[in-house]
A = this chain, B = another copy of it.
């Protein structure tokens, strides 16, 4: 295209196969008509305007590490790649703010912040992920129990609407009540409302000291029951994860880690709780570590391991690679449900029953501190698997949870959202979509099925369904 220059457009056979999919296990690749790599916001806006005029679907793409197919192109559509927009525009130390372009990866940002003693505390587990993708999916990760998720750290955005208009929302401040919060609305909208071209990120002082505790438990119920007293104790853990027996085996084997847990403990263990603490003061960290160790022992932990720095980091890194371990082990699909954290034991009991009935193996680990459960589903039959996943997500919804905690709906969970969500809310979301993107060119097929985003007439006077 003339907008970005011929060197920055691939068409037809020149399109790299990589852009036809993301990392979703069950996705069907789709080759786009072209890939366009804009270098500036103005170029993005011009591309969107041109696409709107011709009603050509646009699929924004960062690093392509998504797990729900949200970056899967549409047949005949164009991939809007941010690989050229990867500048860290500013690190504003006085305001504890970074301003980034969407193509910047988490690893690049973390490296740039290190010398300033600052941290962007969202670690969704894949450091090659782009900030643009993180903003689109409201990425979470293990540290959400302390710091919250992407939503809590994006103070403002520059974004291009589906009309090609450019807006800025929010700013270098944590609060404002000056009209509707467009930043928060665009956050997590998976590229369907606007294309984010800059993000203002909130930074935190980087604590110097961390400690990792590993507690094997005989039952998952005990693991989950340990969480409320742990959180209530006020130590403010950085990370509270559960890892079931099979996942721990897969994770440590894939990473080549030996945790040195004696056979007699391992024989009695059904699940592990991993707690990481951090502090600016080493003595406080030691005191808190001892206090958490005492608490977990009281709460039934079979043993208590305080992992030295390197071993702790290794375990967390291995846990971050859990998706890849599951993929290598042949998992057929993954689930990322969220439930109230106190409901995790009952939820996992239900999941176990559903898995047994479907003849499937379901293993899991997750952010037990915030109720986000990651399951790996081993069941090769797509129909049986599809029904099982539906039932697993329906069980989460029935407990007052949600279909996706952090991966997003993408193109892979359309049926579950459409089937489990209140139709009144879906209609409202379609009208919001139309307010941003009247021609429906932004990431069509994500969140809503293709062709399902035409605005429904606003109903009047009808009682909404309670979920």
State the A residues within 8 Å of B (CB).
45, 49, 52-53, 92-97, 117, 137-138, 140, 144, 148-149, 151-152, 161, 163-169, 171-182, 184-185, 187-190, 193, 205, 207, 228, 231-235, 280-281, 284, 338-342, 370-372, 400-409, 417, 421-422, 424-426, 428-429, 431-436, 438-439, 447, 458-464, 466-467
| Pair A138/B463 contact, Cβ less than 8 Å | no
A422's contact among B168, B234, B339, by CB below 8 Å, is which?
A: B168
| Pair A404/B177 contact, Cβ less than 8 Å | yes
Q: Which residue of B lies closest to A410 (CB)?
A: B177
| Pair B338/A406 contact, Cβ less than 8 Å | no
Interface centre among A96, A179, A188 (most CB of B within 10 A): A179
Given A164-B461, A164-B462, A370-B173: A409 and B178 interface contact (C-beta under 8 Å): yes
A184's contact among B45, B185, B233, B463, by CB below 8 Å, is which?
A: B185
| Pair A166/B438 contact, Cβ less than 8 Å | no
A338's contact among B140, B151, B175, B193, by CB below 8 Å, is which?
A: B175
Which residues of B have CB within 8 Å of A228? 93-96
Which residues of B have CB within 8 Å of A49? 460-461, 463
| Pair B432/A340 contact, Cβ less than 8 Å | no
| Pair B234/A280 contact, Cβ less than 8 Å | yes
Given A428-B182, A463-B164: A138 and B177 interface contact (C-beta under 8 Å): yes
| Pair A189/B180 contact, Cβ less than 8 Å | yes
CA distance A226 to B418 in the complex (A): 52
Q: Could you list 29 examples of A-B contacts with CB < 8 Å?
A: A52-B460, A52-B461, A53-B460, A96-B228, A148-B174, A165-B463, A166-B463, A167-B428, A169-B425, A171-B402, A172-B371, A173-B339, A176-B402, A177-B404, A179-B409, A179-B421, A180-B185, A180-B188, A180-B189, A180-B432, A180-B447, A181-B184, A182-B425, A182-B428, A205-B234, A234-B280, A431-B435, A432-B435, A438-B460
A167's contact among B171, B404, B417, B422, by CB below 8 Å, is which?
A: B422
| Pair B176/A405 contact, Cβ less than 8 Å | yes
| Pair B462/A92 contact, Cβ less than 8 Å | no
Main secondary structure of the interface of A (DSSP, over half): loop
| Pair A181/B176 contact, Cβ less than 8 Å | no
Given A144-B174, A340-B171, A466-B166: A428 and B436 interface contact (C-beta under 8 Å): yes
| Pair B342/A94 contact, Cβ less than 8 Å | yes
| Pair B188/A185 contact, Cβ less than 8 Å | no
Closest 4 CB pairs of A and B: A165-B464, A94-B342, A431-B435, A172-B340
A176's contact among B168, B178, B338, by CB below 8 Å, is which?
A: B338
For residue A199, give the distance in angstroms from its CB to the closest CB of chain B: 14
Which residues of B have CB within 8 Å of A466? 166, 168
For residue A91, give the distance in angstroms from its CB to the closest CB of chain B: 13
CA distance A190 to B180 in the complex (A): 9
| Pair B429/A462 contact, Cβ less than 8 Å | no
For residue A421, give the distance in angstroms from its CB to the closest CB of chain B: 6
Given A184-B185, A233-B205: A175 and B138 interface contact (C-beta under 8 Å): yes
A421's contact among B178, B190, B407, by CB below 8 Å, is which?
A: B178
**11 more A-B contacts (CB under 8 A) besides A49-B460, A181-B184, A184-B187?**
A45-B463, A93-B232, A144-B174, A148-B152, A161-B464, A165-B463, A171-B340, A178-B403, A178-B417, A179-B409, A205-B233
Which residues of B have CB within 8 Å of A235? 280
Q: Which residue of B lies closest to A413 (CB)?
A: B178
Which residues of B have CB within 8 Å of A406? 175, 177
Given A163-B459, A405-B173: A342 and B464 interface contact (C-beta under 8 Å): no
